[in-house]
């Protein structure tokens, strides 16, 4: 199996984004070898733009497309890109979505291809809990340690989390938010909001941290929050649960496939008051969640071995539900 991460033109994205699929396709085509039996393409756009060409040049090959969330939710708003995504999906033998709500949304938009869509959850490596411990970054002041992991972009709902903390008063919490800055204007906004809500001493923003550092925070936190407004899956939720940490998230799509009354709480997205209520409840009860239940259920449902076994069934032609 070979995995390609081609370099292609994306700048300036504001003006060239509708052409990105063409640049991506040109970058990939020289890498494709004759005789390949199976192609698995990730992201509806721009990645999916290689699919029509693959089916033309390799008519007997199976082509799978995985849709992850933002590649659908953000791109379908543009009629030009939505048209390209539809064409790409028409040529795919099977389309995988990382969550049930994502499957439903694509099926409603393109009912003609609904029969070829399957849910294939993202998988988590069980060995993440064995990563080497690092030096503590929480202060150890005795406050409740809360973690969220997600890009600094509006869709991740960090501003909703800050407003919720402002409502309940955050003196007893130490909150760490880790993520890459994909939207500098939004990052500046949440920094100003943090200050306006007098949360500077309780909420720490960490950018561009390694996975080991993220896992260290998961190892140390008391509970985890993912306040997304829209989420295709929510791999950070799965990872936190592998560390036996209860979670709070939103009914924003993918989290509903992960979070249940045995491992956490779900609230409506974009509602600071309801999120504040969930934080208060979790702060009283996080120590009551039985650890073995959290990680064992996640391992059974989302362990990488299970996900890969299901995927191999599709690759080899056994197209039953698994």
At 254-310, the pLDDT tens digits run: 999 999 999 999 999 999 999 999 999 999 999 999 878 899 999 999 999 989 999
pLDDT of residue 194: 97
Contact present, 161 and 225 (Cβ < 8 Å): yes
pLDDT of residue 95: 97
pLDDT of residue 25: 72
pLDDT of residue 15: 54
pLDDT of residue 320: 54
Instruction: Over range 54-62, report the average pLDDT.
Output: 88
d(CA 156, CA 255): 12
Whole-model pTM above 0.85? yes
pLDDT of residue 322: 45
Contact present, 92 and 64 (Cβ < 8 Å): yes
DSSP element (H, E) containing 302: helix 291-302
Assigned token pair, 187: 């990052």
Torsion angle (degrees, nearest 10) of CA 183, 187, 190, 191: -170
DSSP element (H, E) containing 76: none
Give residue-wise pLDDT tens across range 66-117.
999 999 998 998 999 999 999 999 999 999 999 999 999 999 999 999 999 9
Residue 103 CA to chain centroid, in angstroms? 15
pLDDT of residue 36: 78
What number of CA atoms fall less than 13 Å from residue 270's CA on the CB side? 6
């Amino acid at each position: 199996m070979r995995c390609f991460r081609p370099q292609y033109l994306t700048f300036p994205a504001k003006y060239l984004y509708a052409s990105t699929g063409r640049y991506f396709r040109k970058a990939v085509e020289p890498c494709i070898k004759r005789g390949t039996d199976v192609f698995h393409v990730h992201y509806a756009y721009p990645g999916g733009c290689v699919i029509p060409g693959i089916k033309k040049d390799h008519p007997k090959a199976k082509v799978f497309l995985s849709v992850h969330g933002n590649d659908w939710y953000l791109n379908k708003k543009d009629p030009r890109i939505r048209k390209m995504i539809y064409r790409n999906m028409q040529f795919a033998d099977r389309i995988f979505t990382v969550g049930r709500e994502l499957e439903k949304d694509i099926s409603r938009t393109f009912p003609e291809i609904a029969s070829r869509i399957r849910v294939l959850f993202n998988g988590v490596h069980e060995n993440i809990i064995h990563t080497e411990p690092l030096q503590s970054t929480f202060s150890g002041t005795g406050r409740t340690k809360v973690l969220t992991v997600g890009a600094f972009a509006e869709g991740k709902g960090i501003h909703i989390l800050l407003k919720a903390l402002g409502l309940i008063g955050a003196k007893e919490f130490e909150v760490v938010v880790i993520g890459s800055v994909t939207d500098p204007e939004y990052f500046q906004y949440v920094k100003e909001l943090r200050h306006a809500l007098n949360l500077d001493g309780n909420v720490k923003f960490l950018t561009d941290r390694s996975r080991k550092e993220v896992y260290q925070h998961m190892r140390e936190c008391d509970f985890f929050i993912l306040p997304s407004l829209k989420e295709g899956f929510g791999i950070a939720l799965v990872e936190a649960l592998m560390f036996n940490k209860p979670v709070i998230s939103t009914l924003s799509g993918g989290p509903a496939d992960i979070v249940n009354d045995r491992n956490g709480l779900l609230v409506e997205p974009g509602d600071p008051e309801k999120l504040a209520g969930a934080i208060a409840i979790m702060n009283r009860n996080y120590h009551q969640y039985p650890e073995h239940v959290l990680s064992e259920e996640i391992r059974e449902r989302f362990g990488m071995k299970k996900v890969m076994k299901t995927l191999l069934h599709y690759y080899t032609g056994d197209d039953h539900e698994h």
